[in-house]
Amino acid sequence: MTDAGPHDEALDVAIVGLGAIGSTLAHRLSRAGHRVTAIARGDRLRRLERDRAIVTIEGSSAPIEPREALDPAHAHDLVLVTVLAHQLAPLLPSLRASAARHVVFAFNTVAPLSTLADAVGPERFGFVFPGVVASLEDGLLRAQIVSIGQRTLATHARWAALLTRAGIPTDVEPRMQAWLRAHAVIISVVLSMGSRAHAQGRGLDWSEARAHALALRAGLTFVRRLGEPPTPRFVALLPRLPPSLVATILFLASRTALVRRVGAAGPSEPRALVDALATLGPDDATELTALRAIRP
C-alpha cells in the first residue's frame, strides 16, 4: 500500500457502526471533504435520516448519507468498521463480499488480527485504534480527540495520514496486536471502574480500587505470558509498580468526571473485553481470576 500524498483527494468512505466513535470519524472525515455513507440501525439510523448529518453538542454539523446496510456492489474507497468486537461476526459475510477497495477495522479486540485480514483479504485489510473519548447525548456527539499522550494508531501510514489531515492526529503502530491486547487489559479496568462509579454515584472504595489494581497487574502479566511483551514500553513497567500505588491512582481517578462519563456507557464493553481475554488462556490461570473479579 502506498502512502497518501500531501493532500488526499475526496474519498468515498462508508462507516459501519455510528456509535460515538463511528460518529466522530464520520464527522471529521466529512468535514475534511470526504463523502461519507453512514451505516446504522434503529433509533440511530432514524436520527441520521432526519438530520442527514452528524451534529455535535456544540452545534457543528457535517453531512453524511445514511443507509441501513452496506451495498456490496458499491466500490467504496474505504469501509471503516467501528462496531464492538462481539457485534462483528454477522457483518463479516457482507464485508467479505463488498467491492470496497479497503476495509479498516476500528474497535477494541484481543483476537488475532490475522483472522480479520483473512476475512477481507490481506491486501484490503487495515486496523485503526481511535484515540477518542466520545459519547452520544440525545443524538448529539460530544467528542474529545487525544492529541497528547496516547494518540490514534494505525497499521498503515496511508490511514495515519488520512486521519491526521482530518484533525485526528494518528501514529503508525507496527506491533498493533500486542498493543491491542495490553490496551484491552487497561481499558477493561478503566471501563469497569467507570461503570461502577457511574452506577454507584461515587468513586471506588479502597477495596474496589485495590481489586482493580491487582486485575491490571495480573492482566498485563497474562499478556506477557502469551508471548507478546506489552507495548508501549511504559505499559510493560506497570506490573512492577507497588499495587498500593496503582490502587491509590485508580481510587482518585474513579472520582473524576471523565472516568464517570466513560462509565455511563454501561458494563457491556468491559464484560466483553474480560470474556475475550479469558478465551486466550486456560480457565484456571490465576491472572484471569483477578480479571474476572472486577468484571461488572
> How confident is the model at residue 5, as a pLDDT?
39
Nearest to 287 by CA among 205, 230, 203, 249: 230
Strands 65-67, 132-137: parallel, antiparallel or unpaired by DSSP?
unpaired
How long is the chain? 296
Residue 64 has pLDDT above 60, yes or no: yes
Residue 179 has pLDDT above 50, yes or no: yes
Contact 172, 160 (CB under 8 A): yes
Which cell is 145 given? Answer: 480527540
C-alpha 170/C-alpha 153 separation (Å) is 5
Tens of pLDDT, residue by residue over 196-218, are: 999 999 999 999 999 999 999 99
Strands 78-81, 35-39: parallel, antiparallel or unpaired by DSSP?
unpaired
> How confident is the model at residue 2, as a pLDDT?
36
Residue 192 has pLDDT above 80, yes or no: yes
> How confident is the model at residue 8, as a pLDDT?
58
Residue 262 has pLDDT above 80, yes or no: yes
Considering the chain, what is the average pLDDT of its residues?
Answer: 92
> How confident is the model at residue 1, as a pLDDT?
38
Q: Between the CA atoms of 210, 216, 218 and 222, what dihedral angle is there, to the nearest 10 degrees?
A: 170
Tens of pLDDT, residue by residue over 91-146, are: 999 999 999 999 999 998 898 999 999 999 999 999 999 999 899 999 999 999 98
Q: What is the mean pLDDT of residues 221-246?
A: 86
Segment holding 212, helix H or strand E: helix 206-225
Helix (H, G, I), strand (E, B) or coil at 152: strand
Tens of pLDDT, residue by residue over 34-52, are: 999 999 999 999 999 999 9
Which cell is 62 given? Answer: 457535517
Residue 68: count of CB within 10 angstroms of its CB: 10
> How confident is the model at residue 84, as a pLDDT?
87
C-alpha 154/C-alpha 166 separation (Å) is 14
Answer with the residue of higher pLDDT: 229 or 154.
154
C-alpha 5/C-alpha 18 separation (Å) is 28
The answer, as to whether pTM is greater than 0.85, is no
Q: What is the mean pLDDT of residues 4-29?
A: 87
